[in-house]
Amino acid sequence: MLKQNFEKIKSQIPENVKLVVVSKTHSPEKIKQVYDFGQRIFGENKVQELAEKYPKLPKDIRWHLIGHLQSNKVKYIAEFVDTIESADSEKLLEEINRQAQKHNRKIKVLLQIKIAEEDSKFGLNKTDAENIFKKYLAGNFPNIEISGLMGMATFTEDENQIRKEFSLLKNIFDEFSKIRPLKTLSMGMSGDFPIAIECGANSVRIGSAIFGNR
């Protein structure tokens, strides 16, 4: 089942689009199965869960933190996290930078942009994101690499709505990329990744379509 789901998703994703397998709520044993299929990038949304799983799994996994991150928790993952996809404030970037410095490394970060109508979704507005990006380009946060943008669409059946939100993020991505080329545009989950890819995503975060419903 797991293998079939994984292969099916892989077959639906073009080669230039990165797959982040979202493993939240799933055991290290299950994650290891997907690892053995060849997958190396996994995403978790909670710091504590990620910090508990990390020592139990192979060290060549590239862990992405995809959920809301409080500044005081950065220290628990700073030593090993590959990418923090959910950077949504300057204060958080300052703390990520400080912790990365302590471990003498660079942490990749995506700026999370709020594109959904729902109030529940976190994220920066475009102006704040642009200000942070410019500070970064001016030399702030030397132990961070801002490698792209992340966004989540409204949870809705309305494809037009979803398409509109992803297109908005793609426009922001293109605009920022004119200032300095960005690599990663992370948008799309199990329910909406084909639309996200159509709209220009080059990284998708997929959990339930592979592991089943949580």
> Which lies closer to ligand PLP via its Cβ, residue 179 or residue 198?
198
> Which lies closer to ligand PLP via its Cβ, residue 28 or residue 191?
191
Residue 205 in the binding site for ligand PLP (CB under 6 A): yes
Q: How far is the CB of 86 from ligand PLP (least distance, A)?
A: 7
- 3-class state of residue 64 by DSSP: strand
Q: Is the dihedral of CA 104, 82, 203, 131 positive or negative?
A: negative
- Alpha-carbon dihedral angle through residues 88, 94, 97, 99, given to the nearest 10 degrees: -100
CA 7, 12, 18 angle in degrees (round to 5)? 85
Binding segment for ligand PLP among 3-11, 52-60, 135-143, 200-208 (CB under 6 A)?
200-208
Residues 174-193 that bind ligand PLP (CB under 6 A): 189-191
Rg of the Cα atoms in the chain: 16
> Which lies closer to ligand PLP via its Cβ, residue 42 or residue 176?
42
Binding mask 122-161 for ligand PLP (x = CB under 6 A): ------------------------------x---------
**Alpha carbon distance 208, 76 (integer Å):** 26
Residue 207 in the binding site for ligand PLP (CB under 6 A): yes
**Alpha carbon distance 97, 132 (integer Å):** 13
Binding interface with ligand PLP (CB under 6 A)? 22, 24, 45, 66-67, 152, 189-191, 205-209
